[in-house]
Amino acid sequence: MSWAQAILLARGLSRSRGGVCGAALTGAPFPQVSLQAPRGLHCSAAAHSSDMWLVPPPPKPPRGPTRALAPHEELFRQAPDGAQDKANFVRAVQTFGQHNVHKRGHVDFIYLALRKMREYGVERDLAVYNLLLDVFPKEVFRPRSIFQSIFIHYPRQQECGIAVLEQMESHGVMPNKETEFLLIQIFGRKSYPMLKFVRMKLWFSRFKNINPFPVPRDLPQDPVDLAALGLRHMEPNLSARVTVYQMPSSRDSAGAADAAEPHIVGIQTPDQQAALARHNPARPIFVEGPFSLWLRDKCVYYHILRADLLPPEEREVEEIPEEWNLYYPMQLDLDYGRSAWDDYEFDIHKVEEGPVFAICMAGAHDQATLAKWIQGLQETNPALAQIPVVFRLARSTRELLATSSGLEEPPPPPPEGLEEEEDSQQRQQQGQS
């Protein structure tokens, strides 16, 4: 009986003083109690669960029977204009801080905000991450003694801090000094979020610029610009020229032919022009495609104009006459005493394929569109008028289109062309070989 009285007494005490015993009754870990007693910031959940300063009234159950609302989700619904942008996200976070002076439930709120970031389009914004970290109460979770830092101090809060940093990491956001100050202020130097921060700082700077083929972070929205960017990306020769053969019909200026005119953008280097001029008109050349190219998370399709590999007996070796240069020999057949030490060649025949003459990206992947591209190419390559062109298009792009969100508009299956190959499906799988 005295035991029950003691509990009642303790409960009364906790109500009046709001500190020690409440936390002890809820079963908080031992080291936290000694800390909370003087400050009383962490009022226990059990003692005050039904008091009036639970800021917004608990939300009504959602209309649909799908799932319950996460706590604090109503903060994200109070946008006056209903738009999902950075201003509203920041406003929701600030509303949480203003209404909730004691920062109750901030871990739940931060997890919710992390999930919402992609909807609001702020998942790559460093300032927003710093604002989220700012939600944590300062100086509360810092370990005060070595024992606290050995036994992880406030583990749930530290996990939440790591989750914020991990989401930054997965979106490639480099933390800055402000993040560091916030983390030191919140969790202290010897904490797991700080360790994660140090690792991120180290490895992000090491791997920041290792891509030798960089793609801009924000891809152009205009399909013509995007096609030009993709073509420049694929072509290693910097002297290549990008030509827009046909603008899309919305701002049509080229030829007034059809109602729907997809864009056609091509690229060709001077070397390829010369090679096409030298091409034997008896041998056909092929338009192949569509092949996929990924620019970050966007997939674009391109077609190539290529010839088959010449049989070895028809290949002509270009000979440089010796009298081209009187001072230096143009060819050296000297053996400078090279031995096996100096053999840096791989003992293998590399895969050889026929030459590529031009690449294009078009809005539609049917034969009529690509024929216009060939017509446009004939202006700069008069030899193309004599060479037969065979269209080897993939009949169905089912392989390429499977289950994707970042794809371009699906290329419609081309009409039953005359020269389309029957094994198109197989060609599609072979990529661009």
Partner 1 sequence: MALVHKFLSGTYMFRKCPKPGVASCPFLGTRFVDYCSSSLQKPVAGPGKNSSEGDLQGHHQREVALNITSPEEKSEVSFDKAIKDEIKSHFRRLKDDIVNYWIGPEGRPLHEVLLEQAKVVWQFRGKEDLDKWIVTSDKTIGGRSEVFLKMGKNNQSALLYGTLSSEAPKDGESGRSGYCAMISRIPRGPFERKRSYDWSQFNTLYLRVRGDGRPWMVNIREDTDLIQRKNQMYSYFMFTRGGPYWQEVKIPFSKFFFSNQGRIRDAQYQLLLDKISSIGFTLADKVDGPFFLEIDFIGVFTDPAHTEEFAYENSPELNPRLFK
Q: Residues interacting with partner 1, by CB under 8 A?
A: 170, 195, 198-199, 202-203, 206-207, 210-213, 215, 230, 233-236, 291-297, 299, 302, 304, 306, 339-348, 350-351, 353, 356, 359, 399-407, 429-433
Residue 28 or 304 having the CB closest to partner 1 = 304
Residue 77 or 171 having the CB closest to partner 1 = 171
CB of 335 to partner 1, least distance (A): 17
What values do phi and psi take at 245, rounded to 5? -80, -30
CB of 281 to partner 1, least distance (A): 23
Task: Give how far Cα 107 sits from Cα of 102, 179, 185, Å.
Answer: 12, 18, 17
**Distance separating alpha carbons of residues 410 and 413, to the nearest angstrom:** 9
Residue 396 or 430 having the CB closest to partner 1 = 430
Q: Are strands 264-268 and 298-307 parallel, antiparallel or unpaired?
A: unpaired
| Contact call for residues 248 and 224 (beta carbons, < 8 A) | yes
Residue given tokens 């081309």 in the structure block: 414
Residue 135 or 300 having the CB closest to partner 1 = 300
CB of 231 to partner 1, least distance (A): 9
Residue 18 or 175 having the CB closest to partner 1 = 175
CB of 321 to partner 1, least distance (A): 31
CB of 357 to partner 1, least distance (A): 10
Residue 23 or 231 having the CB closest to partner 1 = 231
Residue 170 or 253 having the CB closest to partner 1 = 170
CB of 111 to partner 1, least distance (A): 12
Residue 369's closest CA among 293, 272, 303, 283?
303
Residue 82 or 212 having the CB closest to partner 1 = 212
Kindly report the number of other CB atoms within 10 A of residue 223's CB atom. 18
**Distance separating alpha carbons of residues 14 and 20, to the nearest angstrom:** 7
Task: Give how far Cα 228 sits from Cα of 113, 172, 241, 381, 412, Å.
Answer: 38, 26, 10, 20, 22
CB of 410 to partner 1, least distance (A): 12
Q: Which residues pair with 242 in a beta bridge?
A: 267
Buried b (16+ CB within 10 A) or exposed e, 291-306: bbbebeeebbbbbbbb
| Contact call for residues 384 and 272 (beta carbons, < 8 A) | no
Buried b (16+ CB within 10 A) or exposed e, 135-155: bbeeebbbbeeeebeeeebbe
Residue 235 or 261 having the CB closest to partner 1 = 235
CB of 420 to partner 1, least distance (A): 18
Token reading at 236: 């290693």
Q: What DSSP designation does 407 have?
A: B
CB of 296 to partner 1, least distance (A): 8
User: Taking the alpha carbons of 355, 357, 361, 363 in that order, is the dihedral positive or negative?
Assistant: negative
